[in-house]
């Protein structure tokens, strides 16, 4: 059965996040298998290639898409001042929270307080999230 095609406006109405980023639990474009990949975070694995190419790190603020950055306020820009990561502080502390400003606050907290111990803590919490399949 073919999925219903939606207009950009209809897709935007599904947005459960702020106007800066898009996220929807009931996105009709996502298949059951795709939903499993997202929930288990397996869909992030191709970004390991970006780590090997030194374009990303394992831990850091999530990389935004260019359209998101165009919507940023000045207070959001610090999160793109460091190398992006596959996982980060907000993913393991605010995973279900829809507030973009809270995400940015956690990213800036990570940048300002970076340490190898913080990275280890985030890595362990990320592993726990993946094992529990508690992703969004």
Q: What is the pLDDT of residues 31-40, one digit of tens each?
A: 888 888 877 7
The answer to whether position 16 is within a domain reads: no
Q: Are 14 and 26 in contact (CB under 8 A)?
A: yes
How many residues are there in the chain? 136
Each residue's pLDDT tens digit, 119-133: 999 999 999 987 886
Q: Residue 67: give the domain boundaries.
A: 28-131
The answer to whether position 77 is within a domain reads: yes
Proportion of the chain above pLDDT 90, given as a percent: 48
Q: Are 108 and 86 in contact (CB under 8 A)?
A: no
The answer to whether position 55 is within a domain reads: yes
Mean pLDDT of 106-126: 97
Each residue's pLDDT tens digit, 68-78: 899 999 999 99
Decide which of 30 and 54 is more confident. Answer: 54
110 exposure class (CB count in 10 Å sphere: 0-12, 13-18, 19+): buried
Number of domains in the chain: 1
The answer to whether position 38 is within a domain reads: yes
The answer to whether position 34 is within a domain reads: yes
pLDDT at residue 73, as a whole number: 92
pLDDT at 14 over 90: no
Give residue for tokens 């969004």: 136
The answer to whether position 43 is within a domain reads: yes
| pLDDT category of residue 1 using cuts at 50, 70 and 90 | very low
CA 16 to chain centre: 14
The answer to whether position 3 is within a domain reads: no
The answer to whether position 9 is within a domain reads: no
């Amino acid at each position: 059965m073919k999925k219903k095609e939606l207009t950009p406006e209809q897709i935007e109405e599904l947005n459960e996040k702020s106007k800066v980023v898009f996220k929807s639990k009931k996105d009709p474009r996502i298949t059951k298998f795709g939903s499993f990949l997202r929930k288990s975070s397996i869909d992030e694995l191709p970004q390991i290639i970006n780590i090997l190419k030194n374009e990303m790190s394992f831990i850091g603020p999530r990389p935004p898409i260019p359209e998101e950055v165009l919507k940023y306020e000045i207070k959001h820009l610090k999160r793109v001042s460091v190398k992006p990561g596959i996982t980060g502080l907000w993913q393991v502390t605010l995973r279900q929270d829809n507030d973009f400003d809270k995400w940015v606050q956690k990213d800036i907290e990570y940048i300002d307080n970076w340490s190898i111990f913080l990275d280890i803590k985030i890595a362990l919490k990320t592993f726990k999230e993946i094992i529990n399949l508690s992703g969004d």
